[in-house]
Structure 1
């Protein structure tokens, strides 16, 4: 499938007729924003198709941006992640990012999380946890955080926070 055919397939799936296929084919930055702005009915099929873009790095970045936007938004992230998980499971970085957002959402909602999962999390996830959590997780990161930056974030004074509601977003 050539790039113009790929763009036409994505447009059909996302119901987006408002594009110039040649401009999108010529400029990966435009295509990245176009992927990010799409509102497809079938997110899983959409992500599968985006990941077929010939520019693999840009396609991965566009999918990460969509995962991050959904992770920060209100709503049931776990259900969404379960639906789109099969679309990204073959890309290790995306599979890990989805799992880390599940971990973040659980920790910030006050649900129990495994210490091993927290310690195995990326620097990105540990920094977000260190900046937001309290209690045992904060103490764990203060001693065993992956980087000096993570451990330092645990010492920043913070107001005491109540656990967030499961659908409150990040």
Structure 2
């Protein structure tokens, strides 16, 4: 269905983003579930991944992370890309906070996460990525970050 402003899914996508941006913590899981039930699964996943990225970027270093991430994980069951994105935000969190993590987890992560971690300040992760990051861009970003830390 076409609307005056373009395809209907574009209008629904924009409306979903607005709703997700203003949702209360108490209603967040239910809204994510409703968005994911949209007849256009590509549009729904795109809206939810934007929401997850926005919220995770604010919450990863906060005490409420575990509770939020658990609630979101339950909300996105059955959506492998969204499940993986949450897992990668959790890995980013442990790397950034210098909690225990495994080299293989970081090297097995997506380009998105490796590049995000390569912009961080964990010298151990930066060394791993400078040596073995998946792409030249990731390796170079990690080397640059190591140089900024004075450890490269």
TM-score normalized with structure 1 length: 0.74
Map 1:111-122 to 2 at 5 A: 111-122=99-110
Higher RCO, Cα 8 Å, sep 6+: 1
Following TM superposition, by how much is the alpha carbon of 1:159 offset from its aligned partner in structure 2, in angstroms?
A: 4.2
Q: Is the 8 A contact 1:88 1:94 kept in 2?
A: yes
How many residues align structurally?
A: 140
Unaligned runs of 5+ in 1: 1-21, 161-170
Following TM superposition, by how much is the alpha carbon of 1:23 offset from its aligned partner in structure 2, in angstroms?
A: 7.9
Correspondence for 1:64 among 49, 69, 72: 49
Unaligned runs of 5+ in 2: none
Following TM superposition, by how much is the alpha carbon of 1:108 offset from its aligned partner in structure 2, in angstroms?
A: 1.2
- 1:55 paired with 2:43, answer no
**1:75-123 alpha-carbon deviations (Å, 9 max, x no partner):** 3222201012122121110000000011112211221212121111100
Name 1:42's counterpart in structure 2: 27
Name 2:9's counterpart in structure 1: 28
Name 2:148's counterpart in structure 1: 158
